[in-house]
Structure 1
């Protein structure tokens, strides 16, 4: 099922990066931003949860350890609240003035993590987030597909600490991977699915080539 609002005829572009933890989304978002800016494009790079003052506070609350128990529904609502502010304050205004927004995660992550990973139901979680964002949808979603075990090895390289969601068992992350791939299967025109094991520069070239097809 697609997100409800069509992105056609918007002045700018909204590009999202999705995938399991450790897939390399931040790296590729940075490379795409650099390439587009070198081409003279105005780019707003942002992330979820976060992107606004309230969103960054909610990010700390939901991802950092030590904030007490956060049940699945509360977790889903925190992500949706952060996203509502993000779209209203940052993403929609930037796209409407003709900028390119490059965002690390969006609704598809909530569908995968809370809908499937937390077993809240993908349909219910999507509906909640469509309401929170007034149906605002990406022009393109880049899915970097990574095996959960490989993702953990990448995340913990150099003994890096894992956040609340990253530290969930591989079975949780396997459900998330399957949920991402299912979303891509049901909405193929919006997705570019890439194997995250490919060399960083090859991934960047493939992503930029696809984005160029969308540029005016």
Structure 2
């Protein structure tokens, strides 16, 4: 007796949220994740501290160790390692998430909300004269092209008012004052705008929008562009 083959599931969609520090990326990503699951869309949220590999404790432990090296490290050690090292370390981190979590989820028909995608890293390296922009683009070129990039646009001064505090990394290690944060983040914002022009992103000026307005606009795009009703 011939057994009928089960059809492959419809691939999931990848939705990424990008913007400068303080734009509200994590807030929107978490809300979209919850809303999509509530609406019956099987969805996972992947962020910079997501280390769980489904059904594999050993791989999860390995990913967690790499996360600790990349994100949970001493600031002095981080600066001593240099920009080329951190570019490649970040590329390794994003590659592991892609290989072990994102691609398997998409293939199984699960949607992925990606917070803290690599676009901001490319923007930071585009203004770093010590590292080739071509090299930075190449080490992330193998990552899955998102089905939708939601770009939360806000000026650095407004972002700082929302954040209230910042790290040395968020000033590009240029200083500790508010103006260092503002100058650096506005430069990163300009680079994200250049990527936006090449990528057909959903660009939202969120400076005068509250969280509900941002969420409503984002879910409207999910329905219009990806036919995902939330």
- TM band (smaller chain): 0.7 to 0.9
Following TM superposition, by how much is the alpha carbon of 1:105 offset from its aligned partner in structure 2, in angstroms?
2.0
Residue 176 of structure 1: aligned partner: 188
Give the match's secondary structure for 1:193. Answer: strand
Normalising by structure 2, what TM-score? 0.78
Following TM superposition, by how much is the alpha carbon of 1:43 offset from its aligned partner in structure 2, in angstroms?
1.1
Residue 6 of structure 1: aligned partner: none
Matches of 2:41 and 2:102 in 1, distance apart?
A: 16
Give CA-to-partner distance per residue, 1:98-125, whole Å, 9 cap, x none: 1111011222122111232566343321
Residue 201 of structure 1: aligned partner: 212
Matches of 1:115 and 1:50 in 2, distance apart?
A: 26
Matches of 1:118 and 1:175 in 2, distance apart?
A: 13
- Equivalenced residue count is 197
Cα 1:99/1:206, change in 2 over 3 Å: same
Q: Say if 1:55 and 1:85, in contact at 8 Å, map to a contact too.
A: no
Alignment map for 1:38-187 (pairs within 5 Å): 38-48=38-48, 51=51, 52-57=63-68, 58-61=70-73, 65-67=75-77, 68-117=79-128, 120-130=131-141, 134-156=142-164, 160=165, 162-168=166-172, 169=180, 170-187=182-199
Give CA-to-partner distance per residue, 1:33-83, whole Å, 9 cap, x none: 12111101111101136544244212113xx52425242212211211110
Higher CA-based Rg: 2
Matches of 1:22 and 1:39 in 2, distance apart?
A: 28
Matches of 1:212 and 1:147 in 2, distance apart?
A: 28
RMSD: 2.1
Matches of 1:48 and 1:10 in 2, distance apart?
A: 27
Are 2:43 and 1:37 equivalent residues in the alignment? Answer: no
Normalising by structure 1, what TM-score? 0.82
